[in-house]
Chains A and B, each alone.
Chain A
Amino acid sequence: MVHISDGILSLPVLAAGWAITIALLAVALWWSKKKGNLEEEIPKLSVMTAAFFIASLIHIPVGPTSAHLILNGLVGVILGIFAIPAIFIGVVLQTVLFQHGGITTIGVNTANMGISALIAYCIFKWGNKVGRSIMRKDLSVGIFGALAGGAGVFLAVIFTAFSLILSSKEAFFAIAIALILAHIPIIVIEAIITGSIVVFLMKAKPELIGGLENDE
């Protein structure tokens, strides 16, 4: 549950979330304009966003309950900076189509998941640069893919906990801790799934992974 509902966060936190999200979106839009060819980017990016959206609807049994995948780490690894618009679209659609999350918290939720996705992208990219000189390529891709996938969720949960604590430390501290503990199994699951997806993609369609330099 890294998408916070309406009615919980304080105004400064909501405003900060929107400010960060709009700034990140502006950077991504500026970047795509600089690269030109918007009419080529849009359909491809949207199709990938839809695929991620479907993936996030899958529920994995965790003990007595189930959790749905977040996959923001994977979005980062594949799309790089375009993870921001993709996650924004995903968050808005989750909110208005399924009422997971809230309207006022679209900013906070996008920022929490988006920044984590960008960090996951950096972990994967830089990790592989080092990793490939000391081990087999698929091993390195698998390990850093899993690390990026786990880090994506881990950071998103930490940021979400911070958003709660920043809103009201005394009221939400215990909830924030409970939130982090509840997500430990999900972090492991996401790490394994992201690792296996990235290895699969490396073999089947390496050009799809934005965070991988294709040098062969």
Chain B
Amino acid sequence: MVEYPEIDKYSALDSPMHRFDPRAKIVAFIVLIFAVVLVPNLKLALIALIGAILFLIVSKLPLRFALQHIKWVFLFVVPFIVIMPFTVPGTEIFSFFGLTMTYEGLEYGILVAVRALSAVILVLPMIATSKFNVTIKALGELKMPNMLVQMFMFTYRYIFVFVVEFQRTWRAMVARGFQLKTNLYALKMIGRALGTLFVRSYERGDRVYQALRARGYTAKPKTLVEFKMRASDYVWTAVIIGFAVSLLVVPFVEVL
């Protein structure tokens, strides 16, 4: 019914991306992702895609794992490839039953898809190569407001608790003969199961707060991880940001 997030399943591997300082890694890849989504033509988008795949290979993440995480983007992108060739005006390729497929539409649709795919691939070397709590800590070091950093930590931690809790509720419902169908009764039952989850989590939130206070919690982050930039971190940052800048600059150079 609901599954665990397993994004940092392979964070214990060893690769240049795993050794990359998490702060620099987040900044560099976010810059690159912004550059990738803004490339104006298909040629550059394909170069971006190749670059993204190279970073994925460098990260040594297993292909199966990568594909599992990448596949979701297709759900969103497929409509663009299917619909846009027929709705964007331009040079006709062929037409049938009053539908006209245009070259511009097809190209734009593929451009959108390639940019989306490249961006989602880049998320993996950025996020899947560190333990997720280390990533959150790095966000704090990068001056994200303390309240949000703390919320990230607690929320991430409690997702695992509630997956188990909801699975238990769900098993109990199924054991009593509940079937998931799209009817009023089933929806009401789901509503009640979720209502129970909210009530329990609200009460748990109270207990968590009391327990934290008893241990001296003051809403200030304290973790054992220490970050240190090394020479290789500067090199990788320069490589990634350099790639990003060239993706953005090249179109203007070509115009001149």
Contact = CB atoms under 8 A, between A and B. Distances in A.
A102 B219 contact: no
Contacts of B95: none
Interface class of chain A by DSSP:
helix
Contacts of B213: 39
Pick the most buried of B3, B75, B159: most chain A CB atoms within 10 A of its CB.
Answer: B159
A114 to B, nearest CB: 14
Contact of B73 (A5, A86, A170, A204): A5
Given A5-B77, A54-B166, A201-B198, A174 B188 contact: no
A98 to B, nearest CB: 7
Contacts of B89: 170
B191 A58 contact: no
A192 B88 contact: no
B27 interface: no
Pick the most buried of A39, A103, A175, A197: most chain B CB atoms within 10 A of its CB.
Answer: A103
Interface string B1-44: 11101010000000000000000000000100110111000000
B155 interface: yes
Contacts of A193: 187-188, 190-191, 194
Contacts, number: 236
B79 interface: yes
A46 B160 CA distance: 13
B201 A48 contact: yes
15 contacts: A6-B37, A8-B37, A29-B148, A39-B219, A46-B150, A47-B205, A51-B162, A55-B197, A57-B2, A57-B3, A93-B156, A99-B73, A104-B34, A174-B84, A196-B187
Interface of B: 1-3, 5, 7, 30, 33-34, 36-38, 69-70, 72-73, 75-77, 79-80, 83-84, 86-89, 105, 108, 112-120, 123, 127, 132, 135, 145, 147-148, 150-159, 161-163, 166, 180-182, 184, 187-188, 190-192, 194-199, 201-202, 204-206, 208-209, 212-213, 217-219
